[in-house]
Amino acid sequence: MWNSIASGCALCLGIFTTLNLIAEARCRSFTPNVWWIDLRILPGWISWPLLAVAALLLCVLGLTHQISVWRRRVTIVVLGILAFAAAGNVAEFYALATSGRISVGVPVPLSLFVLGLLSVLIVSLTRRVEAVSWQRRLSATVFAATLGLIVFPLSLMVLLGKTDYRRPADAIVVFGARARADGKPSHVLADRVRTACELYHQGLAPRLIVSGGPGEGAIHETECMRRMALELGVPDEAILLDPEGHSTWETARNTRQMFREQAVGQVLAVSHFYHLPRIKLAFQRHGYEVCTVPAQQKYTYSQLPFWMAREVCAFWAYYARSIVESE
């Protein structure tokens, strides 16, 4: 049973890697494979073929575990290289954490789980496997795919989203949330603006870009955010408004133009932890690698499980959009 599940995981990872490579070929600034393994230390002429070969071998492994000896050995070598890279990602994470360059919410990187999965696949290739019916293999693949579709974005929310990557930057982008009918910010919106203003007062960036859509009343979300930032001591000339940020995707697209006009390079993105993976995905698709900072919550929100479940669907919707949509 475990070998069937391992095969299902291999097939899902192979398909995921293949889709990422297709997306990268369509948009060179978009490198979605970094979401599960970071090979950017290698030149593209090495990392791209390595991932392409790995994707092919993983798909073959997922479709049939009865493979020839030479192909089994090649698969072990390629997965071993990826496992070594994943171990390097783990070491880098802890080096950044211990040096204080990042503030870790959950002291476990996603790379550690990737390393575990690759290790399981390598071990499964070294063992003698009995033939498995296609029905059982299909069931295992469906199980692995369903689990991955749910667990992967949730893991990103908890592991990446709760990690604070604050550092000196050129701008801070704050994402909108509900502005009440009386013009006051909701607790969620206040969390985000308060955190962004804290970053500004720490001298980490000279300007705030507040992005959002219409409020519940006459006051626009961005105007509500601007007023709160002014109350918290941010000068008006340091605040830029993006009133057309009706969605995370639109904010990433709109602010990209603002970045060009303002000569912005390094960006800090502020929102709640569950929202940050989708923000990072949207900005990466639009050509910017942002450093995410989770908003400091003053309250415990009863709607949090619903918001996280919604983000699972939204993350994959953005992922699909990133692949199919042209520049």
Starting from the edge strand earliest in sequence, which strands make up the sheet with 267-271, in order?
Answer: 239-242, 208-211, 171-175, 267-271, 291-294
From first CA to last CA, the distance across the chain in angstroms is 44
List domains and CATH numbers for the chain.
Answer: 2-160 (no CATH), 171-324 (3.40.50.620)
Contact status, residue 162 vs residue 154, Cβ threshold 8 Å:
no
Return the H-helix or E-strand segment holding 95.
helix 69-99
What's the pLDDT at 2?
63
What's the pLDDT at 6?
79
Residue with tokens 């602010």: 255
Q: How far apart are CA 167 and CA 268, in angstroms?
A: 8
What's the pLDDT at 227?
96
What's the pLDDT at 93?
96
Q: Which of 221, 222, 174 is nearest to 200 (CA)?
A: 174
Length of the chain: 327
What's the pLDDT at 40?
85
pLDDT in tens, 49-98: 999 999 999 998 888 767 788 888 999 999 999 999 999 999 999 999 99
Provide the pairing of β-strand 208-211 with 291-294.
unpaired
What's the pLDDT at 311?
97
Written as one string, the DSSP assignment of 233-284 is T--GGGEEEETT--SHHHHHHHHHHHHHHHT--SEEEEE-TTTHHHHHHHHH
Q: Per residue of the chain (327 residues), what is the pLDDT tens digit?
A: 566 777 788 888 999 999 999 988 888 778 899 999 999 888 878 999 999 999 999 998 888 767 788 888 999 999 999 999 999 999 999 999 999 999 998 999 999 999 999 999 999 888 765 566 667 777 777 888 888 899 999 999 999 999 999 999 999 999 999 999 999 999 999 999 999 999 999 999 999 999 999 999 999 999 999 999 999 999 999 999 999 999 999 999 999 889 988 889 999 999 999 999 999 999 999 989 999 999 999 888 899 999 999 999 999 999 999 988 766
3-class DSSP state for residue 173? strand
3-class DSSP state for residue 161? coil
Contact status, residue 291 vs residue 169, Cβ threshold 8 Å:
yes
What's the pLDDT at 132?
63
